[in-house]
């Protein structure tokens, strides 16, 4: 019983932390407010009833401009000047490339109140807890690595971008930003590994936006050409993550004249085509939809200067690698060296690093914290729960949270399950038992997926039951608790899942239900927890000791895993021209420690776009 009380206490503390300054400033509902109950529709009836309200305008790329008040015609977008973006090269008529016009009528992604003035005074209270990141060891390797900076003022970013950084209330760069931004601004290719929630999105967006703002005007193909030619491509594995990166990039590029467009599956392609035709500098996309656009010859990659792969290890695993190779190697994208390539993730198995090196030229490897480690900000608990007891155990947890006033918008709970059917069934059961829940997985329509996320974020359904489709990248404020109802097979998936809480310096709680079916995860899980200074239960240590070495999990063969450039490991070094010079701070040694080979199995690739 005492354990359960402590879960609830932890969740309560976490919720209290998550409430801090921001709720005061936006008038958000407090932790004890009752959430608005959404009308529950059982999964089997969902396609027959139109119970889900239609997606609001901001959900789609094309409709987002419909809110701009720029007038009735869809063609009267804020930047229908094809000379500037995506089409027809030559004269910009806007004071040169560096003097890009601000998009008139551009929707303010910061809301009605721009708040630039206010931003400075509020920054210190609403920002990230940087102290939490100060001790993180950083390692770089590569040729002539550009030195890190300690604040944004030291970085030579374009002026309009600096203003938007203030609008975002980013006071100081996070560690990954301090290192990665100067490396990218120096024009270097980069493979970067940093913990979940540590600000990787801005780390690749800032150099791209700044580079486009200050770089030479591109000579785009003639206006008659059907294909649009973005200058930068950002690929991510899921639709929701692509949408999120698009939203972030739009904030960072607000009023800079840099146009960001998103394209992802499950949404009408015609809307996305229309948006692309208005001009695009940065294209954010999921691989499947991009291949479709390339095959229709509606997008050309010939002018790509920047390529960023977010969740790069996922993008290069067996599920996605063929599509990524097609996009990057078999279409018209400039080769490594002629473009700048940035790969980011919180996990980067060596096998994938080796694959990824095909896309890079004389790159810098950057590890902030150990590769694949979880952040200390997340309190991790593992409970021994038999398969048949999982539901009642979850119910106990949720009741304890409720009893402690941990619920509502400020304390969202994300529950991961293995299968889509399992997700629907658990959601149904939770709702029947008085816990408003919704679900996100690959069998739901895109509209349903987006509605589920909105409902979760708003606190209307403070529990989201998800498959791995929600495991990576999603930055949902106020996720106080991640429950691994079904543990994943791969420890890296666990790292990403629990990383949906404890983000941007805030604390979070992660609870996992473990039983005999998860024995292959015992050792990597106990290693990971130990490394993150978590309490490892004695029974888990016994499971770990019993489990065979060299299993399918990469870490199961090694006592220690670390942030390592695979080029430092002689067994991976193909004797090529990779020269590098290691550079580390924070004091961890040079031993490798990823055991076993292969290991990254197909997992739950069906859940991915």
DSSP 398-423: HHHHHHTT--STTSEEEEE-S-HHHH
Which residues have CB under 8 Å from 347's CB, separation 6+? 193, 313, 371, 372, 492, 495, 496
Beta strand extents in 338-468 (DSSP E only): 340-345, 364-368, 378-384, 412-416, 437-440, 463-466
Residue 428 is given by DSSP the state: H
Q: How far is the CB of 240 from ligand ATP (least distance, A)?
A: 12
Q: Which is nearer to ligand ATP, 197 or 488 (CB)?
A: 197
User: In Å, what is the CA distance from 554 to each residue of 137, 194, 367, 596?
Assistant: 22, 18, 18, 6
Q: Which is nearer to ligand ATP, 504 or 525 (CB)?
A: 504
Reported as type and span, the H/E element at residue 6 is helix 2-26
SS3 43: helix
Q: How far is the CB of 429 from ligand ATP (least distance, A)?
A: 28
**Residue-wise burial string across 487-496, b where 16 or more C-beta atoms lie within 10 A, e elsewhere:** bbbbbbbbbb
CB 503 within 8 A of CB 346: no
Cα Rg of the chain (Å, integer): 23
Comparing CA positions, the residue from 534, 482, 494 lying closest to residue 518 is 494
Q: How far is the CB of 210 from ligand ATP (least distance, A)?
A: 15
Residue 301 is given by DSSP the state: -
Q: How far is the CB of 493 from ligand ATP (least distance, A)?
A: 13
Residues engaged in binding ligand ATP (CB under 6 A): 127-128, 170, 173-174, 177, 194, 196-202, 346, 473, 475, 499, 503-504
Q: How far is the CB of 377 from ligand ATP (least distance, A)?
A: 12
- Tokens for 222? 């003639």
Measure the CA–CA gap between 230 and 562, rounded to whole angstroms: 37
Q: Which is nearer to ligand ATP, 280 or 482 (CB)?
A: 482
Q: How far is the CB of 411 from ligand ATP (least distance, A)?
A: 17
SS3 559: coil
Q: Which is nearer to ligand ATP, 160 or 199 (CB)?
A: 199
Q: How far is the CB of 395 from ligand ATP (least distance, A)?
A: 28
Q: Which is nearer to ligand ATP, 207 or 473 (CB)?
A: 473
Q: How far is the CB of 26 from ligand ATP (least distance, A)?
A: 14
Instruction: Pinpoint the alpha helices (H) of 239-356.
Output: 239-252, 269-277, 287-295, 312-315, 321-329, 350-356
DSSP β-ladder status, 364-368 and 378-384: unpaired
Q: Which is nearer to ligand ATP, 240 or 424 (CB)?
A: 240
Q: Which is nearer to ligand ATP, 507 or 520 (CB)?
A: 507
SS (HEC) of 305-329? CEEEEECHHHHCCCCCHHHHHHHHH
Q: Which is nearer to ligand ATP, 173 or 221 (CB)?
A: 173
Q: How far is the CB of 368 from ligand ATP (least distance, A)?
A: 9
Q: Which is nearer to ligand ATP, 203 or 382 (CB)?
A: 203
Q: Which is nearer to ligand ATP, 377 or 426 (CB)?
A: 377
Residue 336 is given by DSSP the state: B
Q: Which is nearer to ligand ATP, 127 or 596 (CB)?
A: 127
Q: How far is the CB of 244 from ligand ATP (least distance, A)?
A: 8
User: In Å, what is the CA distance from 98 to each residue of 166, 185, 217?
Assistant: 20, 16, 8
Q: How far is the CB of 311 from ligand ATP (least distance, A)?
A: 7
Residue 335 is given by DSSP the state: P
Task: Give the 3-state secondary structure percentages of the chain, helix then strand then coil, rounded to 5.
Answer: 40, 15, 50
Q: How far is the CB of 200 from ligand ATP (least distance, A)?
A: 4
Q: Which is nearer to ligand ATP, 194 or 227 (CB)?
A: 194
Q: Which is nearer to ligand ATP, 81 or 492 (CB)?
A: 492
Q: How far is the CB of 279 from ligand ATP (least distance, A)?
A: 26
- Tokens for 1? 């019983």
DSSP β-ladder status, 190-194 and 364-368: parallel
């Amino acid at each position: 019983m005492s354990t359960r009380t402590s879960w609830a206490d932890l969740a309560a503390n976490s919720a209290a932390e998550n409430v801090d300054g921001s709720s005061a400033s936006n008038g958000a509902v407090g932790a004890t407010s009752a959430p608005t109950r959404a009308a529950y529709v059982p999964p089997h009836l969902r396609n027959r009833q139109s119970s889900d309200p239609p997606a609001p305008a901001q959900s789609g790329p094309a409709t987002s401009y419909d809110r701009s008040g720029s007038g009735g015609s869809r063609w009267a977008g804020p930047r229908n000047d094809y000379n500037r973006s995506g089409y027809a090269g030559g004269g910009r008529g806007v004071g040169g490339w560096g003097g890009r016009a601000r998009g008139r009528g551009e929707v303010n992604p910061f809301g009605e109140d721009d708040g630039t003035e206010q931003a400075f005074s509020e920054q210190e209270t609403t920002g990230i807890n940087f102290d939490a990141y100060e001790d993180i060891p950083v390692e770089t390797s590569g040729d002539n690595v550009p030195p890190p900076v300690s604040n944004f003022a030291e970085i030579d970013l374009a002026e309009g971008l600096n203003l938007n950084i203030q609008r975002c209330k980013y006071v100081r760069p996070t560690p990954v930003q301090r290192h990665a931004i100067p490396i990218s601004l120096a024009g270097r290719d980069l493979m970067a590994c940093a913990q979940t929630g540590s600000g990787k999105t801005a780390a690749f967006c800032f150099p791209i936006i700044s580079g486009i703002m200050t770089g030479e005007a591109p000579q785009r193909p003639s206006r008659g050409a059907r294909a649009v030619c973005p200058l930068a491509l950002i690929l991510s594995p899921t639709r929701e993550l692509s949408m999120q990166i698009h939203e972030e990039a739009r904030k960072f590029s607000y009023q800079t004249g840099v146009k960001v467009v998103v394209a992802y599956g499950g949404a009408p392609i015609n809307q996305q085509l229309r948006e692309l035709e208005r001009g695009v500098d940065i294209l954010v996309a999921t691989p499947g939809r991009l291949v479709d656009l390339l095959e229709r010859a509606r997008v050309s990659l010939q002018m790509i200067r920047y390529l960023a792969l977010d969740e790069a290890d996922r993008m290069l695993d067996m599920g996605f690698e063929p599509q990524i190779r097609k996009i990057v190697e078999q279409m018209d994208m400039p080769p490594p060296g002629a473009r700048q390539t940035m790969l980011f993730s919180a996990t980067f198995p060596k096998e994938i690093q080796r694959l990824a090196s095909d896309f890079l030229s004389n790159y810098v490897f950057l590890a902030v914290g150990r590769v694949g480690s979880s952040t200390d900000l997340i309190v991790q608990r593992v409970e021994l729960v038999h398969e048949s007891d999982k539901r009642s155990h979850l119910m106990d947890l949720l009741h304890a949270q409720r009893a402690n006033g941990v619920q509502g918008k400020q304390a969202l709970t994300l529950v991961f399950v293995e299968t889509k059917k399992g997700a629907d069934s658990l959601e149904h059961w939770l709702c029947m038992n008085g816990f408003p829940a919704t679900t996100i997985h690959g069998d739901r329509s895109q509209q349903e997926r987006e509605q589920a996320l909105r409902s979760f974020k708003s606190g209307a359904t403070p529990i989201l039951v998800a498959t791995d489709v929600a495991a990576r990248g999603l930055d949902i404020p106020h996720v106080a608790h991640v429950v691994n109802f079904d543990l994943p097979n791969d420890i890296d998936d666990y790292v990403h899942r629990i990383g949906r809480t404890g983000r941007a310096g805030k604390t979070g709680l992660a609870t996992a239900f473990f039983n005999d079916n998860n024995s292959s995860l015992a050792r990597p899980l106990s290693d990971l927890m130990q490394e993150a200074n978590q309490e490892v239960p004695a029974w888990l240590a016994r499971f770990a000791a019993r489990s065979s070495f060299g299993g399918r999990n990469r870490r199961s063969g090694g006592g220690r895993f670390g942030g390592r450039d695979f080029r430092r490991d002689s067994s991976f070094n193909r004797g090529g021209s990779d020269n590098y010079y290691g550079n580390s701070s924070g004091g961890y040694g040079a031993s490798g420690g990823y055991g076993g080979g292969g290991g990254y199995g197909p997992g739950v690739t069906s859940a991915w776009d």
